[in-house]
Chain A
Amino acid sequence: MATATIANSTQSTSPMIAMEHVEKWYGAYKALSDINLTVRTGEKIVLCGPSGSGKSTLIRCINHLEAYSKGRILVGGVQLGESAKTIDAVRREVGMVFQQFNLFPHLTILQNCTLSPMRTRGLSKIQAEATARRLLERVRILEQADKYPAQLSGGQQQRVAIARALCMEPKVMLFDEPTSALDPEMVKEVLDTMISLADDGMTMIVVTHEMGFARQVADRVIFMAEGSIVEEGPPAEFFTNPKHDRTKKFLGEILRGH
């Protein structure tokens, strides 16, 4: 594991995301402790772990939805600091998909997708709508473009959320338990969309308990517990030969359900 990390960091291309000794405190509670994580361009990472293990907090630090307390985070070479300027620069490059979709309920599907490109990237309405239609087509939901989010099923809403994030042409996509709020029959359509995104070479960090997805897509699976990275490795190794007892216990619990 240690050698793999060094091999990554010594590659000629600079990493897309680098987290160095990152800590996150909520008052006296330590939510993240000494997180070191390097993500190469095009790499797909699956983060798993019991609830409260800090996996959501970790990815929310990457686009500064949570401020980290110590250490250093670099995204695409930009050090994410406290200044609004670096936060803005990073958020333009990092897309995020939430568990609860968080579509804007008062805007149509198309408006959800065009708002930020028009406001933050200065695209004209025509340009933004052309991009939005292309990406809605890609998540196979273009025919719903003029509806409002509440008129769509959960799976459809989550695919729109993916398209909305893609409209910003991000370099990295973060997924925070994207299928946890969905009815079982809608999980597949969202996972399929994510798989097709992965096949196109998107850099992705996915917090999920969908181990089938991890096996199929992940370059590395990372297991977290109590705010720390406990174990990481390629899925084949991670699932068949977990090293730590904590990982074995977690996998035992989660795979029993499948």
Chain B
Amino acid sequence: MSGQELLFLLSGLKWTLALSAVGFVGGAIFGLLIALARTSPNKTIAKAAEYYIGIFQGTPLLMQLFVVYFGLPLIGLRLDAWIAVAIGFTLHASAYLGEIWRGAIQAVPRGQTEAANALALKYWPRTRDIILPQALRISLPATIGFLVQLIKGTSLAALVGFTELSLAGKFIANQTFRPLVVYGVVGILYFLICWPLSLYGARLERKFAAASR
């Protein structure tokens, strides 16, 4: 593999990271709303969030991307590829992060909510100052685990024409007729991004386990 080909792969990696960042940031913002809705005392809101999570966890990300990119133009809504994948990944990530954070919010001991209530703290200060900081800590390992999944999942953006790392690999492999080497390099690049994150998540998990003893 020549230096130029490697450079091409790295430019693909750049898009992979950009897609991951967009998916994660969008997913985090909407996921927080979903998690709050899912734990809302209002039953209608909680139910709506439950269905949202059910739909986007229960269907393949690939199908969601197809619907947004190829489906919406059929009803006259043509989206730029970037916007389409940003929406697709945000929907997908918000459902998963919403469910992870819902679990974390519910894992905060009941006594914390009771103490906050007894101190006359209303919903917003109670949620923002007491519940969410503790829930975030609880959820960090699972959140990082999902981020790793998301980074690998961005390869699906290739199907709507995004030359991210996987598609870049395919091009080079077709050009050089050396798929084993090229995909090997592609795999190593994914691994170099994801493995440190996994290690970091595992470290946090051990740290919190020790702290809660």
Task: Name B's A-contacting residues (CB within 8 A).
Answer: 109, 111-112, 114-122, 125, 129-130, 133-134, 137, 211
Complex Cα spacing A98 to B134, Å:
19
- Please tell me if A79 contacts chain B, counting CB pairs below 8 Å: no
Query: What are the residues of chain B within 8 A of A106 when measuring CB–CB?
Result: 133-134, 137
Q: Tell me if B121 and A116 are in contact (CB < 8 A).
A: yes
For the complex formed, measure the closest distance between the CB of A152 and the CB atoms of chain B, giving whole angstroms: 15
State A106–B121 Cα separation when bound (angstroms): 17
Of chain B, the residue at the smallest CB distance from A90 is: B120
Give the complex CA separation of A98 and B117 in angstroms: 12
Total contacting residues, chain A, CB less than 8 A: 25
Bound Cα distance A164, B116 (Å): 11
Contact across chains for B112 and A88 when beta carbons are under 8 A apart: no
Bound-complex Cα distance A96 to B118 (A): 6
Contact indicator A105/B134 (Cβ below 8 Å): yes
The one of A91, A94, A104 that contacts B130, using a Cβ cutoff of 8 Å: A104
Given contacts A102-B114, A106-B134, A115-B119, 4 further A-B contacts (CB under 8 A): A100-B111, A102-B111, A103-B115, A115-B121
A202 CB, min distance to chain B CBs, angstroms: 16
Query: Can you list 14 A-B pairs with a CB-CB distance of less than 8 A?
Result: A84-B122, A88-B120, A91-B117, A91-B120, A92-B120, A94-B118, A96-B118, A102-B115, A103-B115, A115-B119, A115-B130, A119-B121, A120-B121, A168-B120
Nearest CB in chain B: distance from A111 CB, A: 9
Docked CA distance A98–B120 (Å): 15
Question: Is the CB–CB distance between A165 and B119 below 8 Å?
Answer: yes
Query: Nearest residue in A to B110 (C-beta to C-beta)?
Result: A102
Q: Which one of B109, B112, B125, B211 contacts A119 once the chains associate, using CB atoms below 8 Å?
A: B125
A-B contact count (CB 8 A): 60
Nearest CB in chain A: distance from B32 CB, A: 18
Would you call A131 an interface residue if the criterion is a C-beta within 8 Å of the partner chain's C-beta atoms?
A: no
B119 touches A98 (CB 8 A): no
Docked-complex contact B111 and A98, CB < 8 angstroms: yes
- Asked if A95 is at the interface (CB within 8 A of a chain B CB), the reply is yes
Complex-state Cα separation, A208 to B211, whole angstroms: 31
Known A92-B120, A106-B134, A106-B137; contact A119-B129, beta-carbon cutoff 8 A: yes
Assess whether A91 is in contact with B119, with CB atoms less than 8 Å apart.
yes
- Beta-carbon contact of A65 and B120 below 8 Å: no
* Nearest-Cβ distance from residue A109 to partner chain B, whole angstroms: 14
Which residue of chain B is the closest to A111 with respect to CB atoms? B129
In the assembled complex, which residues on chain B have CB atoms less than 8 Å from the CB atom of A84?
122
Instruction: Give residues of chain A (162-209) contacting chain B, Cβ–Cβ below 8 Å.
Output: 164-165, 168
Contacts of B112 in A (CB 8 A): 102, 104
| B-chain residues with CB within 8 Å of residue A120 when the two chains form the complex | 119-122, 125
Q: When the two chains form their complex, are residues A98 and B133 in contact, meaning their CB atoms are under 8 A apart?
A: no
A38 at the interface (CB under 8 A from B): no
Residues of A contacting B115 with CB < 8 Å?
A: 96, 98, 102-104
A158, CB-defined interface residue at 8 Å = no
Within the complex, the shortest CB–CB distance from B135 to chain A, in Å, comes to 10
A247 within 8 A of B: no
Task: Given A98-B111, A104-B112, A106-B137, check contact A91 B118 (CB 8 Å).
Answer: yes
